[in-house]
Amino acid sequence: MANIKKGDLVQVIAGASKGKQGQVLAVLGADNKVIVQGINLKTRHTRVTQNDRGVKQGGIEQAEAPIHISNVQVVDPSTKKPTRIGAKVETVTKNGVKKTVRVRIAKKSGKEI
């Protein structure tokens, strides 16, 4: 199971964007890669075309490219620094039914993510 999920705040720990933080937009599980908002931007030149209403589309666009999952780490919510992820099993009572739930925690602070 991947420790990083969509919506997590992560920090890049290796590569050209080292030290930058951003939200995870998508996790590509088969490739072990993540797409992080505002990180690893690539420029793409697309041909200018017109749609049926006459609006021109195309030109120079920037989009996020995937980063390998080993090059990012989840940010600890209390210290705002990168941390490892652990798991803790808790029992939760909901509508009178007990259920065991696996919760992700930050290794440095022990806080729930």
Give yes or no: residues 23 and 13 share one domain.
yes
Kindly give the confidence (pLDDT) of every residue in the chain, 113 residues in length, as a single tens digit, with 9 standing for 90 and above: 468 999 999 999 999 999 999 999 999 989 999 999 999 999 999 998 888 888 888 899 999 999 999 999 999 999 999 999 999 999 999 888 999 999 999 999 999 98
Q: How many domains does the chain have?
A: 2
Give yes or no: residues 62 and 85 share one domain.
no
What is the value of pTM for the model shown? 0.81
Give yes or no: residues 60 and 91 share one domain.
no
CA distance 25 to 80: 19
Give yes or no: residues 61 and 81 share one domain.
no
71 SS3 class = helix
Give CA 33 to chain center in angstroms.
10
Provide the residue type at 12 as one letter.
V
Contact assessment for residue 24 and residue 36, using Cβ atoms and an 8 Å cutoff: yes
Give yes or no: residues 48 and 9 share one domain.
yes
CA distance 57 to 49: 5
Domain of residue 64: give its range.
Answer: 1-75
